[in-house]
Amino acid sequence: MDLSDKEWKKKLTREQYNVLRRRGTERPFSGELLENRANGEYACAGCGSVVFDSSTKYDSTTPGLIGWPSFSDAVSRDAVQLLGDSSLGMQRTEVLCSRCGGHLGHLFRDDSSSNGLHYCINSCALEFSEGDKSAGPESESSLEPSDGIGR
């Protein structure tokens, strides 16, 4: 998806543009999908590509990682791209939508996750479609986060 900056600004809300295109972070506990418990799929708000499934959504108990939707895995290996991120003086792993390159959040280690992985994702970067559309991720992820905590 190759849109100009002007086209992205027109397509997205101000907050979505700040997060998806400028790599911002929404305020903790402010996202409408944080408490969502319905079955369904989570797509990138920028392009509509499905990136997460409700079967991997969980409530993290790790300080510094709560306040944003948490997933233990992406819907498939190809759904997201992981990049090293050394901004804000820490080593993190940035999670991008593979289709449009939109910033979704970060990947961390998290003992409260079923597989030790924590996709800490901005709610405004996602759109939710309710329904039993998938049986979960294609396969167990072998993607590894960089060491670091926080957003």
Task: List the catalytic residues.
Answer: 120
Is residue 86 a contact partner of residue 147, using CB atoms and an 8 Å limit?
Answer: no
Q: Which of 100, 110, 103 is nearest to 150 (CA)?
A: 110
Q: Which helix (H) or strand (E) holds 138?
A: none
